[in-house]
Amino acid sequence: MHEITDAEKEFLDKAKELVRHYEISDGQLILSEDPEKLAIRRLTDFIAFGKVLTGQHATNKVHGAAQDIIKNKVLELLRSGYTSSKEIALVLGVSSQVVMGIKSHWTQGKYGDQVIQKPSVIPKVSWCYLILSSKGEVYLGATTDLRRRLRMHNAADNKSYTKGRRWHLLAALQFPTRKNAFDYEYKLKSSMALKKEWKIHSICRANKIASRYHYEFSPDVWNHQTF
């Protein structure tokens, strides 16, 4: 079995010395020594060096040692709080694919670290709603923020379909997730019967709104209209 030669050992010692020049200061990666004084600038040079060695065993052995150096440096940065594969790759001079491969194994606990759990998506309560305009029109929509959405409909700079009229909340259904609310909106918009049914169920509130603000329309006619 081929042993690492003195020349190869000297090279790897230089490689290890190089990575010691990388430090972390105030949350930023820096070189602690003038880059001009460094004989080797990029960690990828460690692997390239193996190509000029004589003998496949020597090449494989140096490759393996160089890859271990790269892996250990990537792990050091990951453990210190750096999570961007692109940033680590740029600083160390390796490809993003190399960093992402190491990071993938790291998050799975393959290097002795605790398995990194991906943050779960927190369901966002949402609404499907009907609003009534000062002209008697009814608009159907869905939103994750009902109050904010109603303010937007009534905003002076509103440039959407609902611009130029005052709108009142006529009815609203709450759902545990955004997807549920927008799926229900799509379901209503796809069914004339369902839309009309919800609208008619809201006639009582519509009449109260019309009476309170002295609007000149009668929601009772909805029984004889489509949505």
CA distance 127 to 122: 16
Question: According to the model, what pLDDT value does residue 10 have?
Answer: 64
166 neighbors 158 (Cβ within 8 angstroms): no
Question: According to the model, what pLDDT value does residue 130 have?
Answer: 96
Centroid of chain to Cα 54: 47
Tokens 């001009």 label which residue?
36
Alpha helices in 5-145 (DSSP H): 6-19, 44-50, 56-79, 85-92, 96-107
Question: According to the model, what pLDDT value does residue 33 have?
Answer: 47
Question: According to the model, what pLDDT value does residue 20 have?
Answer: 52
CA distance 32 to 91: 13
CA separation, residue 20 to residues 13, 39, 87 (Å):
11, 14, 18
Q: Which residues pair with 133 in a beta bridge?
A: 167
pLDDT in tens, 131-188: 999 999 999 999 999 999 999 999 998 888 899 999 999 999 999 998 899 999 999 9
205 neighbors 169 (Cβ within 8 angstroms): no
Torsion sign across C-alpha atoms 164, 166, 170, 175: positive
E runs forming strands in the chain: 22-25, 28-31, 126-133, 138-143, 167-175
Q: Is the pTM of this model over 0.85?
A: no
Stretches where the chain sits below pLDDT 70 are 1-66, 91, 93, 113-122, 224-227
CA distance 58 to 143: 64
Q: What domains can be seen in the chain, in order of their start residue?
A: 6-107 (no CATH), 126-224 (3.40.1440)
Question: According to the model, what pLDDT value does residue 132 have?
Answer: 95
Q: Which residues pair with 167 in a beta bridge?
A: 133
Question: According to the model, what pLDDT value does residue 93 have?
Answer: 67
DSSP secondary structure letter of residue 219: G
